[in-house]
């Protein structure tokens, strides 16, 4: 995802892709859609690891995210950038 256009002039993300949680894959995304409930563990832009506990299905997480970590239990995650 790095190097791709992040947003159009309206401030709305212009791209989306399914996410497979991984400790190695760098996403550099602006937010996540969580389709299946569960914990979401991310690495933020500044390198901090944060756990969002019990995220309900259909939720959005708006945060600059480098990685969705392998410890994530939520499913059907989509990154936007």
In whole angstroms, how far apart are CA 37 and each of 31, 45, 52?
16, 23, 11
Nearest to 40 by CA among 32, 14, 48: 32
Tell me which of 56 and 3 has the higher pLDDT: 56
Mean pLDDT of 25-37: 97
Tell me which of 26 and 6 has the higher pLDDT: 26
């Amino acid at each position: 995802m790095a190097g791709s256009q992040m947003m159009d002039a309206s401030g709305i993300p212009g791209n989306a892709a399914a996410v497979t949680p991984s400790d190695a894959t760098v996403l550099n995304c602006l937010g996540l859609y969580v389709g299946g409930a569960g914990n979401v563990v991310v690495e933020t832009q500044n390198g901090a690891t944060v756990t969002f506990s019990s995220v309900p299905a259909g939720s959005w997480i708006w945060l600059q995210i480098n990685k969705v970590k392998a410890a994530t239990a939520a499913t059907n995650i989509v990154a936007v950038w």
